[in-house]
Amino acid sequence: MPLRLCLCFHNHQPAGNFDEVFERACTDCYEPLLDCLSRHPGIRAGLHTSGCLIEWMQNRRPAYLEKMARLAGEGRIELLSSGYFEPLLPIFRRNDIKAQIAALGDLLEGFSGVRPKGLWLTERVWEPSIPSLLAGTGISYAVVDDTHLVLAGVPEDRTGRPFLTEDNGNRLVLLASSKSLRYAIPFDPPGDVIDLLRRMEGAGTGLAFYGDDGEKFGVWPGTKELCWDRGWIDSFFDEVEKAGWIESVTPSEAVAALKAEGPVYIPAASYSEMGEWTLPPSVQEEVASLTSGLSREASDRMRRLLRGGFWRNFLSKYPESNELHKRVLHAEKAVKASGDPEALRHFWRSQCNCAYWHGVFGGLYLPHLRDAVWSELSSAERRAAEVTGDLPRVTAADIDCDGADEVHVLTRSLSVLVKAGAGLTVSELTFLPAGRAPVPLGHVLTRRREAYHADISDADDGGSRVRTIHSKLPSTEAGLASRLVLDSYRRVSFRTILLPRDDGREAWFSCSPSVEAPEEPGAQPSVERNGDHLMMSCSLPSGAGHIEKRITLDLSKPVFVFRSSAQGLDGRIAACEMCFNLLTGGEDDRFVKLGSSDSVRTGVAGTGICHDLVVEDGWRKVRIRITSPAFLEVAHMPLDSVNRSEKGYERVHQGMALLLSPGARSGGVLEFRMELGDLG
């Protein structure tokens, strides 16, 4: 019996990614791969294309979709489904995920005439309830990794065939992608991959299943030259076609040809690297210590048996991710109640997984991806509220499930999340200009320690050499290790900051531990609505002293009024920190202007004394104006992270921080008014 080889490709670009990234991925990867499949009739494959990418292609690359439909109609490729906008299936509500799968299934059936039977499991994030989640969707098999089966107790030499699992009697067939093949294709010579397949065939493996990102064939560093200029893919397909002992099959053909074993029961898992990335840095370092000094084979075996972390731990590791996730869940009821398809579409797009986590790819660390999903969420909520007439809306509850209340405010011009249980800080701050897309200004990412920080070099050793994303990564610019700064508190707006009196600004610029950020109120915050105004106040204890704090939000226009007064601070100064995400600090149209002084880019640090200041985002056409009856002492600085992406270690602008301190004659009172304005 020949060895059945099943190749399955997953093509995806996240909602909000830059247009030029879509263009380059299509030109360098997706189109050449589809053309290659067209000219190799002996190769049959599975193909998953996310709804985000399909929607872009419908407008920009319709010829690709026409060719995809033709190959699928001929049975040359099999189209796999998923959640429409590539959500992580287990973390959203079941009925919503079923609806996304059904919607993508409808679209794919329109292309091929065949209802998809297979599911590309987003990031292979598995939880035992998934068979029940998929019940009734028409999905009969799902793609996982061989690591999943090993965790279920299947011997490694038995993972090369379909396996059955179930939940509450709902069955699902699993096809497990071979890690050996994933690491070999396309980085080892084609002949070496054929030799690997021959060894698998000699060991009695009935199926060699390969499922991985399509971006490996032209988007990852150096792979365009390897795969297309040097012809790796054509050479490999030639070798497969002429090998009489290999039969190329689609995933459904593999499932039909080989009797599935089982049932097996897989614990919550993903691919092995994801299990490491979700762990706290100290635990990641412990895992590295356990595997250091071992041979590659022994290290691989130990890493397969070490289960790693649970994907949902990203929600505790990164509060920004948790807040986004819980706000999506919070918004669902109102969006569904509106019955509006436009609101629902925006809501689904807000679930696109890439901005919820961080591994090798930038993900959560990329401001434009966070901006995109927050914008989609606000668009969904605004549209739903317009349909139902439910504006303004004020909701007080423990929205993010951290044990303390938040207040979510939605008006015609603002979406704001006030962390009432954390000193009236504001993390979500989205401007809703009439007639155009929302402008998220909050969601600044706090800079935290990552396990890979110890590997960052000050040398610029970037380049386009061929490598897997699991290889040692280069630094993309000189001096990166020296630029590494960690925050001791979460960067949000309206945060009260305690500065040492003598060198407060310098301490703040250097992120010194001498800068304190009290969060917990001494008494339950007061939240009162009076007509068009929402008034929130709290008392923050500080040693023998205290700080009285009040924020008034206008529900009819995008205006905040802030006031704080401090007593008994033992020589410290109470200031207020505001943090804004303007996506970049290096463009002239993103600037801060203090009083009558010249404007400077938000990527430049500076100080000044003024009654009024402006922060402007000329690209998204929004102006933030802050005015005070008394002089304000102002400092501002960029917040740049040093993180990794598929390109290597890089510096990313996460936002700007603005420090507002009371003048020398203020008596410890800080007052200012902030208004958001539309420049569109």
445 neighbors 365 (Cβ within 8 angstroms): yes
Q: What is the per-residue pLDDT across 644-669, written as a single tens digit (0 to 9) for each?
A: 988 889 999 999 999 999 987 777 89
Question: Tell me, what's the pLDDT at 663?
Answer: 81
CB atoms within 10 A of CB 60: 12
Structure tokens, 275: 């299990």
Question: Tell me, what's the pLDDT at 255?
Answer: 96
Q: Concatenated DSSP letters for 642-657? A: EEEETTEEEEEEEEEE
Q: Name the residue among 87, 451, 473, 475 with its Cα closest to residue 278.
A: 451
Question: Tell me, what's the pLDDT at 469?
Answer: 54
The mean per-residue pLDDT over the stretch 419-428 comes to 94
The tokens 């270690």 sit on which residue?
A: 649
Question: Tell me, what's the pLDDT at 434?
Answer: 96
Write the CB contacts of 409 (distance below 8 Å, at least 6 apart in sequence).
392, 393, 394, 395, 415, 416, 417, 418, 534, 553, 555
Amino acid (1-letter code) at residue 378 = S
643 neighbors 318 (Cβ within 8 angstroms): no
Catalytic machinery residues: 123, 213
Q: Hey, which residues does 11 pair with through a beta bridge?
A: 49
Question: Tell me, what's the pLDDT at 470?
Answer: 56
Structure tokens, 195: 């030799």
Q: What is the per-residue pLDDT across 282-306, written as a single tens digit (0 to 9) for each?
A: 999 988 888 777 776 776 666 566 6
Q: Could you give the CA distance from residue 255 to residue 292 in angstroms, rounded to a whole number? A: 38
Cα 351 to chain centroid distance, Å, stands at 9
Structure tokens, 199: 């060894």
Question: Tell me, what's the pLDDT at 468?
Answer: 57
- Specify the range with the lowest mean pLDDT, choosing from 326-340, 352-366, 532-546: 532-546
Q: Does domain 319-448+477-678 have CATH number 2.70.98.10?
A: yes
Triad 109, 114, 118: Cα angle to 5°: 90
Q: What is the per-residue pLDDT across 169-187, written as a single tens digit (0 to 9) for each?
A: 999 999 999 999 999 999 9
Q: Could you give the CA distance from residue 51 to residue 14 in angstroms, rounded to a whole number? A: 9
Is it the case that residue 366 has pLDDT exceeding 70?
Answer: yes
Q: Could you give the CA distance from residue 180 to residue 197 in angstroms, rounded to a whole number? A: 10
- Domain layout of the chain by residue ranges: 3-270, 319-448+477-678
Q: Could you give the CA distance from residue 69 to residue 64 in angstroms, rounded to a whole number? A: 9
pLDDT, averaged across the chain: 93
Is it the case that residue 65 has pLDDT exceeding 90?
Answer: yes
- Residue of higher predicted confidence among 63 and 648: 63
Q: Concatenated DSSP letters for 348-360? A: HHTT-GGGG--SS
CA atoms within 13 A on the CB side of 598: 4
Q: Hey, which residues does 279 pair with through a beta bridge?
A: none
146: left (phi over 0), alpha (psi -120 to 50) or beta: alpha
Structure tokens, 280: 């706290």
Question: Tell me, what's the pLDDT at 292?
Answer: 77
**Strands 3-11 and 45-49: what pairing?**
parallel
Domains 3-270 and 319-448+477-678 agree in fold: no
Is it the case that residue 251 has pLDDT exceeding 70?
Answer: yes
Q: For the chain, give the longest Cα–Cα distance.
A: 89
Task: Give the CATH class of 3-270.
Answer: alpha beta
Write the CB contacts of 356 (distance below 8 Å, at least 6 apart in sequence).
88, 314, 315, 321, 324, 325, 363, 364
The tokens 């995933």 sit on which residue?
A: 251
24 neighbors 223 (Cβ within 8 angstroms): no
Q: Could you give the CA distance from residue 295 to residue 308 in angstroms, rounded to a whole number? A: 20
Q: Could you give the CA distance from residue 236 to residue 326 in angstroms, rounded to a whole number? A: 45
At 132 the three-state DSSP class reads helix
Could you tell me the pLDDT band of residue 561, with boundaries at 50, 70 and 90? Answer: very high
Structure tokens, 117: 């039977």
Question: Tell me, what's the pLDDT at 296?
Answer: 66
Residue % of the chain over a pLDDT of 70: 96
Q: What is the per-residue pLDDT across 626-643, written as a single tens digit (0 to 9) for each?
A: 999 999 999 999 999 999
Structure tokens, 564: 């704080």
Q: In this structure, is the dihedral angle defined by the CA atoms of residues 315, 318, 324 and 327, taken in order, positive or negative?
A: positive
Helices 232-242/31-38 angle, 10° precision? 30
pTM assigned to the model: 0.95
Could you tell me the pLDDT band of residue 389, with boundaries at 50, 70 and 90? Answer: very high
The tokens 């048996």 sit on which residue?
A: 305
Interior/surface letters 14-48, b for 16+ CB within 10 angstroms, e for the rest:
bbbbeeeebeebbebbbbbbbebbeebeebbbbbb
The mean per-residue pLDDT over the stretch 534-557 comes to 91
Residue % of the chain over a pLDDT of 90: 85
Q: Name the residue among 226, 146, 219 with its Cα closest to residue 187.
A: 226
Question: Tell me, what's the pLDDT at 662?
Answer: 92
- Residue of higher predicted confidence among 118 and 289: 118
Question: Tell me, what's the pLDDT at 272?
Answer: 86
Is it the case that residue 591 has pLDDT exceeding 70?
Answer: yes
CB atoms within 10 A of CB 119: 25
